[in-house]
Amino acid sequence: MKPTEFCIVGLGLLGGSYAMALTKKGHRVTAIDVRGAAIAWALERGIIADGTVDDGAHDGDMARLLGAAGAVVLGLYPADLAPWLRARQGLLRPGALVTDVCGVKRAVVGTVQGFLRPDVEYIPSHPMAGREVSGVENADDRLFAPANFLITPTAQNTPAAVAWAKELAAELGFAHVSVLSCEEHDRMIGYVSQLTHAIAVSLMNANSDPHLVDYTGDSFRDLTRIAKINEELWSQLFFANRDMLTAEIEQFEAALTDLKTKLAAGDEAGLKELFRRSTARRKLFDRPAPGDKTS
């Protein structure tokens, strides 16, 4: 990727990690955030070259930064993305490429591509990386090395923009890049990400015994790690993908009911078959990684 000026809008955990990685790669990176502290923190550490606060008092600075940026990364919450872009798209540089980090796609992409200026292009993407903490202060571009980067173009996107998103993923250091439709994305994410969070939350909420902490093993800690959840972000993600998530919850409920029924019936052969199937499927997901006990 040739040197580009990036403007990161929303300098949180992901936006901050993008800024870190892109600055290291020699790009000029600027940022816009509602939190002055986020901008100051990133400027002090050289993670961004310039930045300003989106507080209504710095619109001139915002216009300057967006007008200079060949690429804009929207690190905003799902519900904020389209409204922000609709209000600010007049400030974008002609020919700019816009992408995002949003974990749901159908709810966002059609809307944005429906109103966006014809001389800029929005190529949707979703870096599947995160932590149970937020803010640029916790940013860490090492998050990307083991992770998947998803690109979800529509018929309105150009091959050049898809190619650019792939280059971006490579610059950020993602292990794997996939291109899929917004529909496929939301169905898959309903299973591998949203359902897992719904399960972790429900598992944590199912029992209120305060002594459990004395007894837990690693399996319980692993299953509930993501029960620490950003309520605002995740309620937006869940509601924006309600149909897919509900279908995945119901498919999971059916699998759990199947296990419970075999247990009640004393069906040893049936229970073992479930265990063999889950073992065989899970083995496909193994990968060598530091700290991976199964490697």
60-89 residues near a second copy, rule: CB under 8 A: none
The stretch near a second copy (CB under 8 A) out of 43-51, 83-91, 157-165, 266-274 is: 266-274
CA distance 87 to 26: 30
CA distance 123 to 97: 7
Binding of a second copy at residue 145 (CB under 8 A)? no
Binding of a second copy at residue 253 (CB under 8 A)? yes
Cβ at position 196, least distance to a second copy in Å: 5
- Closest CB to a second copy among 119 and 268? 268
The stretch near a second copy (CB under 8 A) out of 3-11, 59-67, 110-118, 230-238 is: 230-238
| CB 100, CB 124: distance < 8 Å | yes
Cβ at position 131, least distance to a second copy in Å: 6
Among 56, 95, 217, 288, binds a second copy (CB under 8 A): 217
Among 52, 42, 37, which residue's Cα sits nearest to residue 18?
A: 42
- Closest CB to a second copy among 115 and 239? 239
| CB 171, CB 21: distance < 8 Å | yes
| Site residues (CB under 8 A) for a second copy, limited to 108-137 | 128-133
Among 111, 113, 134, 148, binds a second copy (CB under 8 A): 148
Binding of a second copy at residue 239 (CB under 8 A)? yes
CA distance 112 to 101: 14
**Whole-Å CA distances, 238 to 38, 150, 155, 254:** 27, 19, 26, 20
Cβ at position 229, least distance to a second copy in Å: 5
Among 189, 240, 244, 288, binds a second copy (CB under 8 A): 189
Cβ at position 10, least distance to a second copy in Å: 20
List, as one string, the DSSP characters of 113-181. HHHS-TTSEE--EEEE---SS-SGGG--GGGGTT-EEEE---TTS-HHHHHHHHHHHHHHT-SEEEE--
Among 43, 120, 162, 223, binds a second copy (CB under 8 A): 223
| CB 226, CB 168: distance < 8 Å | no
- Closest CB to a second copy among 36 and 146? 146
Among 38, 182, 6, 19, which residue's Cα sits nearest to residue 102?
A: 182
Binding mask 26-65 for a second copy (x = CB under 8 A): ----------------------------------------
Residue found under tokens 């690429």: 71
Cβ at position 42, least distance to a second copy in Å: 21
Among 200, 240, 244, 288, binds a second copy (CB under 8 A): 200
Residue 197 backbone phi and psi in degrees, to 5: -70, -40
Q: Are strands 28-33 and 5-9 parallel, antiparallel or unpaired?
A: parallel
Specify which residues 155 forms β-bridges with.
Answer: none
Binding of a second copy at residue 288 (CB under 8 A)? no
The stretch near a second copy (CB under 8 A) out of 45-53, 55-63, 164-172, 286-294 is: 286-294
